Amino acid sequence: MQEKINKVIERYKEINELLSAPDTHAKPNLIKTLAIEQAALEDLYNLAEKHNKLQKELTELKEMIATESDHEMLNLLNESQLEVSEELTATLEAFEKLARKADPNATRSVIIEIRAGTGGEEAALFAAELYRMYLRYAEHNNWKTEQLSLNHSSTGGLKEVIFLIEGAAYGKLKFESGVHRVQRVPATEASGRIHTSASSVVVLPEAEDVEIDIKEEDLKVDVYRSSGPGGQSVNTTDSAVRITHIPTGIVVTCQDEKSQLKNKKKALSVLKSRLYDMELQKQQDSERSKRQSAIAGGDRSAKIRTYNFPQSRVTDHRIKVSWHNLNEIMDGYLDAIIESLQEALANES
């Protein structure tokens, strides 16, 4: 553990030096990346410094006790040694707990992709409600949002939406990746039977230009006319952009803007985040081979949550906990769910 403590201190000080370096001032993207990492390390760094200070103090007390002959002074030194030892143990426990759940990406902005799954139009309507839920959550946290891509269904739902939440969002919203299932009576159901539908959510940490190097020769860029619900053309110019990353086969499309350049910029932003997330998933897969986790970076094809409208119940299947305030949750009040997931992750051994 001492080695991990030393590494945290060394990296934090290294970041400070880099942020102060003249060469860094001309690289705003690098400054932002370093600032994100620094913010993620700050609490760990403070605990690490406190641990080393207490460790040094304890060593000095032991040396004084070994040479002290006065009985009264010896009692005082022994009392001080006990107090410092207890504080040192508590500090180390706090560092270990924080280190287990520490995520260097926690303070990043996120790109969220929501897609309608099984259930036809009902799934598309639920996807639209999930989109609103996350927009409201962002609003509650004073985070900015930007729509990157939107594809409506024929009845006003969403086949797919991709959007950016700008703020320290990833540490909280990373738990939202997976299949979200809804159980309710659709408005089109005459017999009143409860249907089950689903939509998928993928949460990506926003990548910076300095982290992902995309070569032009690795990209296939196609342009075409934007289309709206039902396939009708909504633009008379070839402004929509489809980018294929040849090495990985990842395809990103964007047609929201009337400008081809703006659509390309948004599509590249999503592509960079997907590529960064691929690398992050590889690291997490390696970590999960050592420490199994059903929460952090779990299988995104797995059902993670059920929203039961008739019973006003939301159940998270990873931690087997239910909440009975569905309307509030759908209005973006997700803190109780997110805090429960964070606590469960922190308590994993």
The string of pLDDT tens digits covering residues 2-13 is 888 998 999 999
Containing H/E element for 212? none
**Which neighbouring-strand residues pair with 181?**
198, 306
Task: Provide the mean pLDDT of the chain.
Answer: 86
In 102-157 the beta strands, taken as DSSP E runs, fall at 110-116, 144-152
Q: Is the pLDDT of residue 54 over 80?
A: yes
Q: What are phi and psi of 29, to 5 degrees?
A: -65, -40
pLDDT of 228: 58
| Distance from C-alpha of 47 to C-alpha of 251, rounded to nearest angstrom | 43
Number of neighbours of residue 150 by Cβ within 10 angstroms: 16
Q: 117 and 111 in contact (C-beta within 8 Å)?
A: no
Query: What is the mean predicted confidence (pLDDT) over 307-326?
Result: 96
| Distance from C-alpha of 340 to C-alpha of 345, rounded to nearest angstrom | 9
Q: Is the pLDDT of residue 130 over 90?
A: yes
pLDDT of 3: 85
DSSP calls for 156-217? S-EEEEEEEEESS-HHHHGGG-EEEEEEE--TT-TT---EEEEEEEEEEEPPPTTT----GG
Give the whole-number percent of the chain exceeding pLDDT 90. Answer: 48
Q: Which residues contact 160 (CB under 8 A, 6 or more apart)?
A: 113, 114, 115, 116, 127, 149, 150, 151
| Distance from C-alpha of 253 to C-alpha of 264, rounded to nearest angstrom | 8
pLDDT band at 291 (very low <50, low <70, confident <90, very high): very low
Q: Is the pLDDT of residue 346 over 80?
A: no
Q: Fill in the DSSP letter of residue 246.
A: T
Q: What is the pLDDT of residues 150-208, one digit of tens each?
A: 989 888 899 999 999 998 899 899 999 999 999 999 876 767 788 999 999 999 988 86
pLDDT band at 101 (very low <50, low <70, confident <90, very high): low
Query: What is the mean predicted confidence (pLDDT) over 228-250?
Result: 72
Query: What is the mean predicted confidence (pLDDT) over 22-31?
Result: 82
Q: What is the pTM of this model?
A: 0.68
pLDDT of 230: 47
Report, in angstroms and rounded to the nearest whole number, the Rg of the chain calculated over CA atoms.
Answer: 25
Query: What is the mean predicted confidence (pLDDT) over 132-149?
Result: 95
Write the single-letter amino acid at 79: E
Query: What is the mean predicted confidence (pLDDT) over 305-311?
Result: 96
| Distance from C-alpha of 329 to C-alpha of 44, rounded to nearest angstrom | 32
Q: Is the pLDDT of residue 243 over 60?
A: yes
Sheet with 321-323, edge to edge strand ranges: 144-152, 158-166, 110-116, 195-205, 178-184, 303-308, 313-316, 321-323
